[in-house]
Amino acid sequence: MATILAPPPEGSDLRPVRGQPGIPLVGNTLQVMRDPFATARKRYEQFGPVSWGWLLGQRIVTAQGPEAAEAVLVNRDKAFANGPAWSYFIGPFFYRGIMLLDFEEHLHHRRIMQQAFTRTRLQAYMDAMAPGIKDGIGAWEPGAGFKVYDHVKQLTLDLATDVFMGVELDRAEADRINGAFIDAVRAGTAYVRFPVPGLRWHKGVRARATLEEFFRRHLPAKREQSGDDLFAALCQAETDDGHRFTDDDVVNHMIFALMAAHDTTTITLTTMAYQLARHPEWQERLRAESRALGKPVLEFADLDALPSADLVMKESLRMVAPVPALPRRVVKDTSLLGFHIPAGTTVILPMLTNHHMPEWWPDPERFDPERFAPDRREDKAHKYAWAPFGGGAHKCIGLHFAGMQVKSILHQVLLRYRWSVPGGYEWPLDTTSLPSPKDGLPVRLERLEHH
């Protein structure tokens, strides 16, 4: 039965938000996690773009579609805050990361952090990554049952520790730090949201302590040296008026940036690998493009010379948004698309399902990279129809780094290997946390003779 979230103020022409609370305590959590696409569609047809339900222990308004996304992300009257919304999910583990700051403080930190993502810095990161990519993918064992997700995750974690930290780690220490990152990320969608030993939340709290200790131990040396890694860049970063990060700031931003960098890139590359395995004509098209460059390692100047890779990357980001939902907390009574949203409400923008709305995307379940081609540009139907990196003041600061890393890895993989899946294979996508294949995406991997 539909109920309203809160009555609008007297005399207001705003509409109340309608929805269904679902079953006590659990609410709509299970449906949303198990089948977000069908759940979002049903809600949209029943209640329109703005509705409410119970999710992970709180009342949540879901705002679907690009118009709602624009209103919330552009945030003209500063009613929607990032920090308190994200903190509920990942606050204890990614405390004061750039995504958890708001308004003036967020802009202040972002200005300093931008120094770590200049063109010169990006070029240095790209050069630093190349040998790690070569060694990482060179060690892959061809054959049937090669799990793409597991191998790509290992590679992006190793690159993150290498290129971002600039600290030499032995395998055991790298695995310990990587394991802490994985535990911190998984803790965000824990059902039990207090530290019961052995459960996700408790592991996340322990992981945070491990990561803090690691970065604090290496921080003094990083303050002393200038390097081509992110850790050194954040230690040295300074705005024109002389503002720098404190030690606490550097530790908080490093922990957040490492999580943000490896997880989202892994999901994007895995989705691309899945689609290229199912559509070998696209895999050959991308391979031909990479071969035409005539170089084993992608260079910074080559990033725009792979137009087909761009199309496939954009379509893969549409089909599986690596960050499936963007939460905001309403800090003062406001309106959204004519609906009354009271202060204290959590609003979620479901980017994963927004990208599958037939109102904006013709035949949304079909893999069709050409929809991003210059003569079609279906993403131009609305400024926020395609928004895998968010938007507004909080648009992902690392989006250029992400594109560069994806192309650098893909280029080397295409030149060395061909991969395939059996006809009719469809991956079982797990959407309980960040989207990933339950089976790790097993493919038949073949080494190419001439690479």
Going by the annotation, the residues of the binding site are: 396
Q: In whole angstroms, give the CA distance from residue 308 to residue 290.
A: 10
Taking alpha carbons only, the member of 329, 434, 321, 435 closest to residue 387 is 321
Mode of pairing for the β-strands spanning 326-330 and 436-437: unpaired
Task: Specify whether the CB–CB gap between 364 and 352 falls below 8 A.
Answer: no
Tokens of 34: 């198990």
Q: In whole angstroms, give the CA distance from residue 231 to residue 237.
A: 10
Give 162's DSSP letter. Answer: I
| Binding region for heme | 396
Give 397's DSSP letter. Answer: T
CB atoms within 10 A of CB 87: 17
Q: In whole angstroms, give the CA distance from residue 361 to residue 355.
A: 7
Give 347's DSSP letter. Answer: E
Q: What share of the chain is helix, strand, coil (3-state, %, to 5)?
A: 55, 15, 35
Cβ density class 251-278: b for 16+ within 10 Å, e for less: bbbbbbbbbbbbbbbbbbbbbbbbbbbb
Helices (H), 51-118: 66-74, 83-90, 103-113
Task: Specify whether the CB–CB gap between 68 and 47 falls below 8 A.
Answer: no
Q: In whole angstroms, give the CA distance from residue 224 to residue 237.
A: 13
